[in-house]
Amino acid sequence: TMGNWLVNHWFSAAVLAAWLGINIFLFTYYFLFFDRDERYFYTRAILGSALAWARASAKCLNFNSMLILLPVCRNLLSFLRGTCSCCRRTLRKQLDHNLTFHKLVAYALALLTAVHTIAHLFNLERYNHSQRATDGSLPAVLSKMHLQGSDKWLNPIHSNQTTVEYVAFTTIPGLTGVIITLALILMVTSSTEFIRRNYYEVFWYTHHLFLVYFAGLVIHGIAGLVRGQTEESMKEVHPHHCAHYLMHKDEDCSHNCCKDPEFGSIPAESWKWVLAPILLYIFERILRVWRARQKVVVTKVVMHPARVLELQMQKKGFRMEVGQYIFVNCPAISLLEWHPFTLTSAPEEDFFSIHIRAAGDWTEHLIDTFQQQKPEMPRIEVDGPFGTASEDVFQYEVAMLVGAGIGVTPFASILKSIWYKFQQADQTLKTKKIYFYWLCRDTGAFAWFNDLLASLEQKMAESGKADFLTYRLFLTGWDTNIANNVALRFDTPTDTVTGLRHKTIFGRPMWNSEFAAVAAAHPRSVVGVFLCGPGALAKSLQKSCHQHSSLDPRKVKFYFNKENF
């Protein structure tokens, strides 16, 4: 299975290895540099190895801060996807892992921040301790250097009446460090799956603390509290020869080491790392504003059962692909909030549509606003469309589509589009067979999709292509009412829950037997497995893909794709 994974994900593996490698290199290189370089001999006399821990983690923090914005430049990623449409499917697919990489970099930032902060707390403690020391030791002597002149200092703490807390909240590095860390903690904690799904607004607004993070990061190193010996001073009074003389200064000094060492600050350099990504991101945001300003006309509003709202819209120059999504803003509800929705229309249709179910304050407001039947429609702004894995469905001879709950939305677009292509005898359609699995907790949410399936079923039967689509509906949460109803009408030709020809199955699918059946029916095919649903389901499907793929290149292969947002 490891071999299979590497074949499917060689690009991801390469990116991951490069990222890890660069992090390890930066950390090791700068750790050894600050732990051994002669210019920091005196600094180490006060701080010990905590200096190297703080500096090495700082380098890695800069590197990861440079990367964190790149995966969320969605317009630029969309452009990249478009330009490499001719390149291998594997490469295009990897661009869908942008959010996974974004999270990975964020976790690295959190870990490195912890290392950096702890190291600096040790440093402050040691600076403070050395400043108070009166034992004539090297750290004590070095800490009194500021008395020789305003720029002679090595220890940034010049007073005996200070505490670590005081320094942390009154100096630029201390204060910005505290602010950056708080912003990072809030961003990481508010972006858990649970909060994103149930309180999207909390996630959306908190994530804009990234502005505070980058502003703080750029200012953070400006004061240059950590110092090293200057090059000129090294030539005149090298610590190797002169360090021990510092503690035993004679009044009438005559040897080479009479001069005091001179110190200079390490220049602030975070801005050099993050300037390019920040400019790219500003360009990305300008692009978003410009795209959102273009007029959107809502051509039709349909209220489906179970509070699902369908909006059909038109926008000049809007071109979509299957399974893409758009970001939607309704200024009447909130000027700043943008929410992602999968497109449920097919590219062949003369409008684009989304289905919105009530899940949180914003969606509730939107549904209420459109239900009020006012003479003029509320204004809608649209940014997108953005590409995800589903565009690749037509590239596979056999496709297994798995939708869980509202995650069925991209498949509305796919099934419709495949049907249009089929009717028009489109040459680009390689698909010969589709297996569709829908897992749903309750029947309410089935309604709108149900109608779609029923009409497709009818059209396919009429044109003698009924076997092109095999689908199974799994009802995962069902009550005794349904069970009794099913028992009474077991011999009817259509299903009691959905009215469709294929019966609803109660309970969860047995993936092993489903995959085995597909592998048996298509022993030499490449099968694309597409999921829009929860992470746990992704894991079990990925496992099945590996288990049922043959190592023989001429036999059946399963490729796994998952929708991200």
From 124, 112, 106, 109, select the one nearest 173 (Cα to Cα).
124
- Residue 552's domain comprises 389-562
- Judge whether 319 lies within some domain: yes
The domain that contains 431 carries what CATH number?
3.40.50.80
pLDDT at 313: 97
Same-domain check for residues 532 and 407: yes
pLDDT at 219: 96
The domain that contains 375 carries what CATH number?
2.40.30.10
Residue length, the chain? 565
Same-domain check for residues 422 and 525: yes
Same-domain check for residues 327 and 193: no
pLDDT at 93: 66
- Judge whether 27 lies within some domain: yes
The last residue of a domain, from among 337, 356, 386? 386
The last residue of a domain, from among 334, 365, 386? 386
Same-domain check for residues 344 and 397: no
For residues 322 and 388, the answer to whether their CB atoms sit within 8 Å is no
- pTM above 0.85? no
For residues 527 and 398, the answer to whether their CB atoms sit within 8 Å is yes
Here the tokens at position 81 are 């996807």
For residues 333 and 369, the answer to whether their CB atoms sit within 8 Å is yes
pLDDT at 514: 93
Same-domain check for residues 206 and 347: no
pLDDT at 7: 59
For residues 367 and 304, the answer to whether their CB atoms sit within 8 Å is no
For residues 299 and 351, the answer to whether their CB atoms sit within 8 Å is yes
Same-domain check for residues 314 and 458: no
- Judge whether 472 lies within some domain: yes
Residues of the chain where predicted confidence (pLDDT) is lower than 50: 1, 484, 487-493, 496, 565
Same-domain check for residues 211 and 86: yes
pLDDT digits 0-9 by tens, 405-429: 777 888 888 888 888 887 787 777 7
> Which residues 6+ apart lie within 8 Å of 372 measured at CB?
none
Same-domain check for residues 141 and 226: yes
User: What is the three-state SS of 53-83?
Assistant: HHHHHHHHHHHHHHHHCHHHCHHHHHHHHHH
- Judge whether 220 lies within some domain: yes
- Judge whether 249 lies within some domain: no
- Judge whether 22 lies within some domain: yes
Same-domain check for residues 89 and 196: yes
pLDDT digits 0-9 by tens, 361-393: 899 999 999 988 777 889 999 998 887 656 678
Same-domain check for residues 280 and 315: no
Beta strands (DSSP E) in 126-183 are none
CA distance 565 to 76: 16
pLDDT at 476: 83
352-357: strand order across its sheet: 296-304, 308-315, 352-357
Here the tokens at position 255 are 């040897």
The last residue of a domain, from among 368, 386, 404? 386
- Residue 71 preceded by cis peptide, ω within 30: no
- Judge whether 254 lies within some domain: no
CA distance 389 to 320: 14
Q: What is the number of domains present in the chain?
A: 3
> Which residues 6+ apart lie within 8 Å of 400 measured at CB?
435, 437, 514, 518, 527, 528, 529, 530, 558
Same-domain check for residues 274 and 307: no
* Percent of the chain topping pLDDT 90: 50
pLDDT at 532: 84
- Judge whether 194 lies within some domain: yes
For residues 328 and 382, the answer to whether their CB atoms sit within 8 Å is yes
CA distance 165 to 288: 42
Same-domain check for residues 238 and 377: no
